[in-house]
Structure 1
C-alpha cells in the first residue's frame, strides 16, 4: 500500500514537471520568433534634381547618368528624379530653393555661384585657361575640389564639375575682329567680371535672363551675346545672330550640387555613394558634350552663320590684362594652381 502511494506521488511529480516544461517552452516561443525576425527595410528616398536645359542637352544626360548610378548603388532605395527644361524654376530661383532645401540637387553654371563663393569667379576671368585640357587639369586638382567645398557656407554642397566648353561672342551685326565688337550691346550673365570684360573690349554689357535673349536679339534690345556652341544651338540664337567669333574668352564649367539641408539628412554612407556617383557621371557628360558640340557647329555652319576663328589672341589678352592682374593679386594661390595645371 505504501509502495503504491510512493509510486503515485512520483507519477504526479513527473506530470507536474512535464506541465511546467511545456509552459516554459510556450513562454520561450516569442523570444525564438523574435530572434528570427528580418530587420525592417530602410525607407526609400526620392530626391529632385533641377536643370534649366532640355532633356537631350549634355548636362541633363549627365544628370540622368548620376541618378542612374545612385539608384543602382543603393539597390533602388534612393531615387533621384531629374526635372529638365527649367520645370522647377530658372537658375536664380532654383539656387534660392536649393539654399532653403526645397530642391535637393541642381545643375547650374559656375558663374552665378561666384555670388556665394567669391573664388569661383576664377572661371569668369578671361583668357585664363589656354585649352580644355588646361581647364580640366585644374578642375581635377586639389584646388578645384576646394573651390566646390567652399559652397558649404552658402548652404550648398558641390559634388562635381560638368563640361561647358568655351564661350564665344555672337551678334546680329558683323563680328569678325575685336574692333567690330566695340560699341555693340552684348548680353552677359550677371557678374562684375563679365561687365568688366565687356568694358575692356569696348562693348556695352547688358545683363538679362537667359530666356529673354532670343526676343532681345529679334527686337534689337541687344546686338549679341556670348555662350558656348551647344547653347547657341539649343536656344536657336543662331537664327537671329549670323556672326560668331571664336575667341574662347572663358571656359566656365557647370556644377552639380546638392542642397546642404538635404545633404545633411543623409547618412555618411549615402553621402559617399552620391558623391562618387556624381564624379563617375562626369565621363558620360563630357562625351555627350563633345558629340553635341560637334553637331552644334555643323548646325550653325549650315544655317549660314559667318564663323571667325581668332588666330592671334594676344591683342584680346592685352585688353583684359588689368582684370587678370587684379585676380592674380587677390588670389595668388589659385593663380599658381592654374599655372601649374597648364600642360
Structure 2
C-alpha cells in the first residue's frame, strides 16, 4: 500500500525476478512490459464496463493472461478500476477545451498519445505529486476514476470532473512465474479459483463504492460532474486506433475482437 514497494513499474520489475510473488497493477502500466495490454488501454475501445467484463472474462482475457510469460509473470484475473475521465479547474466538454492544458497522465504511450491527439499537453508525474501539482498550477488537470477526487482529495483542488470515460483500464492481478512454476497443479487450480472468486466480489464492491464516492465528490467536496458527448473525443483519437492496429497482426486481431463484442 501507498507505494511502499515502489512505483507500479518498479514492482513489476521485482515481480520478474521473484522478489515479489503477487501484485496488482493497472493495465496502463503493463503495456510497456507486454504490448498486447495496450489493446485494453485504447481510448473508447470499451462501450462501458459491462462490455469490458465480457471481453476480459472471455477469449481475449485468456490470451492476455499468458501474453507476458516471456516477461516472467502471468495474470490471474482482472479487477474493475472504473472509467478514467478528465478533471481540472474548468469543464472539459470537447477536445478543444484541452488545448494548451498540461494534463497529468500515467506514463503509458497510449495515454500520452491520446492526450496529444485531444490537444492537451501530457505531463507524466508520480501520482503522489498530483495534488500539489494541481494546487500549485504545475498542471492544469489530470485523468483518473472518481476515487482520485475523494480518496486522494484531488476534488479539493479540481472542481470539475468531465465524465468522458475515455479509458476503462482494468487492474490486473499478477503472479511471478518464479512462484507459479513451483506450485503443484492442484495449488495452481486453487489459486486460480480464489482469484476468480475475488474478482466477483471486487467488482460488486467497486460498483457500490462508486455510488458513494460520487456522492462524496459532489456533496462533500463540491465537485461538479459534467457529461460531455463522447463522439468528438472518439473522432479525435481515431488515429491512435489505426496506429495500434498497425503494430502487429495480434494487436489488430485483438482490437477487432473487442469491437465485435460490443
TM-score range, shorter chain: over 0.9
| Cα pair 2:87 2:158 within 8 Å, conserved | yes
Q: Deviations over 1:125-157 (max 9, x none)?
A: 111111111111111111211112111111112
Q: Deviations over 1:107-129 (max 9, x none)?
A: 11111111111010112211111
2:71 aligned residue: 154
| Cα pair 2:80 2:171 within 8 Å, conserved | yes
2:222 aligned residue: 304
Say which SS state the counterpart of residue 4 (structure 2) adopts.
coil
| Cα pair 1:99 1:155 within 8 Å, conserved | yes
| Cα pair 1:111 1:189 within 8 Å, conserved | yes
- C-alpha separation between the residues in 2 aligned to 1:333 and 1:176? 32
Residue 24 (structure 2) pairs with residue 104 (structure 1): no
Residue 170 (structure 2) pairs with residue 253 (structure 1): yes
Residue 60 (structure 2) pairs with residue 140 (structure 1): no
Q: Deviations over 1:235-262 (max 9, x none)?
A: 1111111111010101000000111111
Say which SS state the counterpart of residue 77 (structure 2) adopts.
strand
1:340 aligned residue: 260
2:11 aligned residue: 94
TM superposition score normalised by structure 1: 0.72
- Deviation of the 1:332 alpha carbon: 2.5
TM superposition score normalised by structure 2: 0.94
| Cα pair 1:176 1:244 within 8 Å, conserved | no
Which of 128, 132, 148 pairs up with 1:231? 148
- C-alpha separation between the residues in 2 aligned to 1:244 and 1:143? 31
| Cα pair 1:98 1:156 within 8 Å, conserved | yes
- Deviation of the 1:177 alpha carbon: 3.5
Query: CA distance change for structure 1 residues 174 and 131 in 2, over 3 Å: closer, same or farther?
Result: closer
RMSD across aligned positions (CA): 1.4
| Cα pair 1:157 1:259 within 8 Å, conserved | yes
- C-alpha separation between the residues in 2 aligned to 1:116 and 1:168? 24
| Structure with greater proportional helix content | 1
Q: Which has the higher contact order (CA 8 A, sep 6+)?
A: 2
| Cα pair 2:81 2:145 within 8 Å, conserved | yes
Say which SS state the counterpart of residue 225 (structure 2) adopts.
strand
- Bigger shift: residues 91-100 or 113-122: 91-100
1:24 aligned residue: none
User: How many residues are matched?
Assistant: 258
Q: Deviations over 1:60-116 (max 9, x none)?
A: xxxxxxxxxxxxxxxxxxxxxxxx333333322211211111111001111111111
- C-alpha separation between the residues in 2 aligned to 1:109 and 1:254? 4
Residues 88-237 of structure 1 mapped to structure 2, 5 A cutoff: 88-237=5-154
Give 5+ residue unaligned stretches, structure 1.
1-83
- Deviation of the 1:189 alpha carbon: 0.5
